[in-house]
Structure 1
Amino acid sequence: MLMALARETLEAKIFGTNPPNIDLSTLPPPLQEPCGAFVTLKRRGQLRGCIGQIEARWPLAVTVARMAVAAAFHDPRLPSLTPDEWKDVELEISVLSPLARLRDASQLRVGTHGLYLRKETQAGLLLPQVPLEQGWDAETFLRQTCRKAGLPPEAWKDPAAEIFVFTAEVIHEK
């Protein structure tokens, strides 16, 4: 249901038609619950957009629809998705668990945990599937999350850095 919602919402935005109406009362309870989620778009195996909401601000169905549009049109790293690209786009949805503070880096589980690291005004997040795709060990995962936050690679060792882990249920298009 989430994948269909994301795809229909994007299709409507790309081609200028009416987006699907999200009637929460007709959805299964888990889709009505507030939940964080990320939507990743890939075209021919290349990243085409990825944006998400860490905090559980909106019902999951609403979060996914909003993040799908944000990934396609508001990822600052990439140009907006075009109608010509649409037929080649694959979607991936990551439904996030709540954040949990990581107090000991040895408890980080590559392939299970995603990372959210913040220090002062800078923050970076990498989904659990990223280190598996890249072949990273735990320390490389921590260093790359620092890099994503615009921090030095060893910033994760600084006591002022806050490190959080989360899990994600990842939904792939079939």
Structure 2
Amino acid sequence: MSQLTPEEGAELIQIATDALRQWVVCAQTYCGTPVHPALIKPGAAFVTLKRGAQLRGCIGRMIPIDPLYRTVADCAVAAGTRDPRFDAVREEELSDLKLDISVLSPLEAIDDMSLIEVGKHGLHIERGGRQGVLLPQVAVELGLDRERFLELTCSKAGLPTGAWKQGAVVKVFSAQIFHSGPF
């Protein structure tokens, strides 16, 4: 998917916000349609919810099957209600939340780990049916170097931290990130 404009990003933020609010407040699925045609194209994305600096939910889709706006709406609701690490978001929490949308580039398999650019690339590591994903901004937020980024992604997959050296398939991707203000 090509780069989105700031206006398209703002519309995605509004869609994600509306979708989560509609679900939490009214148990209604988002039914809107986007103004910008680029948002109708298939797209892969993650939606990250934060309360202050604390993670409150993060769910995404790596494969661009559905229209990007639908992926974002569905992932916003899932991040707020189905991330197994957290209880479902309650209506009274909405005003304390901010969200980030990471629109993903296609995955690209790599063999040379020196090509990984911390802060530019996210990682997808898979071996033996297990897979882990970390977004590009995670490495920056946690102050990780390349090797620690690889190890943490392996750990997220439930693999030994050195699995990236032992037959795991490593793929990189980039993300265009859009940030919301408070709900």
TM-score range for the pair, normalised by the shorter chain length = over 0.9
Taking the TM superposition and a 5 Å limit, the aligned residue runs for 1:1-174 are: 1-16=11-26, 18-23=28-33, 27-158=35-166, 160-174=167-181
Whole-angstrom distance in 2 between the partners of 1:148 and 1:18: 32
The CA deviation at 1:17 is: 6.0
Alignment TM-score, normalising by the size of structure 1: 0.95
Find the residue that maps to 2:155 and give its secondary structure.
helix
Instruction: Please state whether the residue corresponding to 2:178 is helix, strand or coil.
Output: strand
User: Which amino acid in structure 1 is aligned with residue 168 of structure 2?
Assistant: A
- 1:79 match: secondary structure: coil
- Distance, in Å, in 2 between the alignment partners of 1:36 and 1:168 is 10
Structure 1 pair 75–18 and aligned structure 2 pair: CA distance change class (3 A): closer
Q: Contact (CA 8 Å) 1:22, 1:61: kept in 2 or not?
A: no
- Report if aligned partners of 1:22, 1:62 keep a CA contact under 8 Å in 2: no
CA RMSD, 1 decimal: 1.1
CA positional deviation for 1:18: 4.3
Q: Percent identity?
A: 44
> Structure 1 CA distance, aligned partners of 2:32 and 2:170?
34
CA contact (8 A) 2:152 2:161 kept: yes
Deviations 1:31-83 (A, max 9, x none): 01101000000012110000000000100000000000010011011111111
Secondary structure in 1 matching 2:85 = coil
Aligned counterparts of 1:111 and 1:142: Cα–Cα separation in 2 = 13
Structure 2 residue runs without a partner (length 5+): 1-10
- The gaps in structure 1 that reach 5 residues or longer are none
Q: Aligned partner of 1:93: which letter? A: I
Instruction: Report runs of 4+ in structure 1 exceeding 2 Å deviation.
Output: 17-23
SS in structure 2 at match of 1:152: coil
Is the CA contact (8 Å cut-off) linking 2:30 and 2:73 kept in structure 1?
no
Per the alignment, residue 7 of structure 2 pairs with none
Supply the AA of the counterpart residue of 1:29: P
